[in-house]
Structure 1
Amino acid sequence: MRWTTYVSRTDQAEHAALLVDGELFGVDRPLIELLRSDLSLAAWGERAMTAPWERCSVEEAALVAPIPVPPSIRDFMAFENHVVTSYAALGTEVSPVWYDQPVFYFSNPAAVLGPQDVVTLAPGSERFDYELEIAAVIGRAGRDLHPDTAEDHIAGYLILCDWSARDLQSTEMRVGLGPAKGKDTATSLGPYLVTPDELEPFRAGRGFDLGMRATVNGREYSSGNWSDLYWSFGEMLAYASRGTELRPGDLIGSGTVGTGCILELGLTHGADRYPWLQPGDDVLIEVDQLGAVRTSVQDTPAADPIPLR
């Protein structure tokens, strides 16, 4: 199944909808409420098909992020190729800790954008970047999960683009904390939450044999494959749930696929070939079976950041 969230023209409210053959079969509540209910998504799908709250074409619908305000966002760094290449380009070595345990940071739920929303540059940033990722959406609560069974708690997967102000990020992380302001301006999600059964035929390695691509102004920048994960989503969920509870609607991001950001490409192949994003750039983030995020970058409303003191 493919689920999304859209703003209905009938009541101007957010509603979950099942996508079938280009048509949305809406239900009377947001998707996160479906995940929190006692019914399965399959049962909600049957209800949507037999007695939809409303029906409309997906091309005419105003799609927002499937989970517009997630309870939490944990973004991991689970692709070895990205980690090794980007660290080498920066002249540093990968910490052995990365091979011993998956690592993540908490991102900003208030900064979530939909699959076609315009992205605004982070105030004060001149090195703005995209990150080509996928994320798992938690469908069933759990804590202290085991890597072998943790994926049973996943309701589905979607595209995640973690927009990054690299100059702000590199400055603040010298203190030993973060990333913070380098990451919390925007995170694009969508367009669909795709249930695991849809992807099972593509299972390979520690993920799925599904291509991941990013283009800027129609030119291909990034190309990778989900199956290249070093840490599986089961392992990421198990680590994230240690001593705490994962809740329905929580997001677990994979981190950037190899070649999946300008930081990595520019430092490896040259900044002239892969310049940082500028106002007016059109960016396409695409993952096989999950759809695409299409957006443009605009300048920040304030020319200069507000002084800190």
Structure 2
Amino acid sequence: MVLTASCSASEPEKTDKSSVAAPAGSTGKPAEPPLTAEEAFGDLGAIDYCELLDVRALEETDATIDFMVPDFRHCLVGVDAPATTMTVMIGGLYDNAEEGNLPSEDEALSRSVHRQTFDTEAGCLRTLLFADEIGIQVFAQGLRGVEQVDMKELCRVADTVTDGVVEAAFSEETFPRTFGEGSLAELEACALLDDTAASDALDDDLVAHERVGGHGCTWGPPMGPSVELTFGVEMPVDLAEFSTKLEGRPTRVTGSELRCDVSTPHIPLAGGYPQEREILTVSATTFDPSACDVAEELAALVWPKLPEFRD
């Protein structure tokens, strides 16, 4: 499973949790139709994931929210709980028909929706899997650099956040995200790099595979040599890090002998985030020292197709 932060704290009227979390059964009423991810949240390419967070419920657990930053495919939330400081990711849509994830716990809710728990040493992972096999993730992990992480606290927060996502999914409301003018969201990620270029770079016959909800594209298998193109948000962004010039755009190259990321900054994130910027990254995984050569070669094809960089 792929694991990959401000939003209004005002909340719409909530539905009764007891009605949305109960297993489907015979009640004498007509059966409700299966619930798909798009029916639950609206356009999968423009979900405001931060609006899925039940702020009040989280604060009632004595946790406080340090920050919320919306990304293209998730919301990153900084949470200070009594025993642990953590980040919580809400989003990361995936297609379970392709990934075939096996949960450690599976709770059947109504309308063919499943609430799932996954065992992982990195943190606490919860998912909501809809009738169309599209899943949304909640992943809580200790803040980077924190020595002591209370896993029980992580999972308690993850469960509370997941409660809110469940309630939002069954609320019959949608949660649209508005992107700023000139945002990378206006571009089709898979159209920025053609299959032939990706295939030639890795000496293989590759076909573009769009991420669920868009804003990213992959060429190649998950565990093999591959190329990725992703839209993201970084906080904060130091433009001095993008000291390389590639096709006239500021560029940052980071990686190892196995994988390399070549990134370029775009416009500041809309909605009052002066320290955050949209970022486009071309990544190459080659499992040999050619990773950065491949990533830079492909980035040089992508950068000219982007809107002009604005400082």
The two structures have a TM-score, normalised by structure 2, of 0.24
Report which structure shows greater RCO (CA 8 Å, sep ≥6): 1
The two structures have a TM-score, normalised by structure 1, of 0.24
- Which protein has the larger Cα radius of gyration, Structure 1 or Structure 2? 2
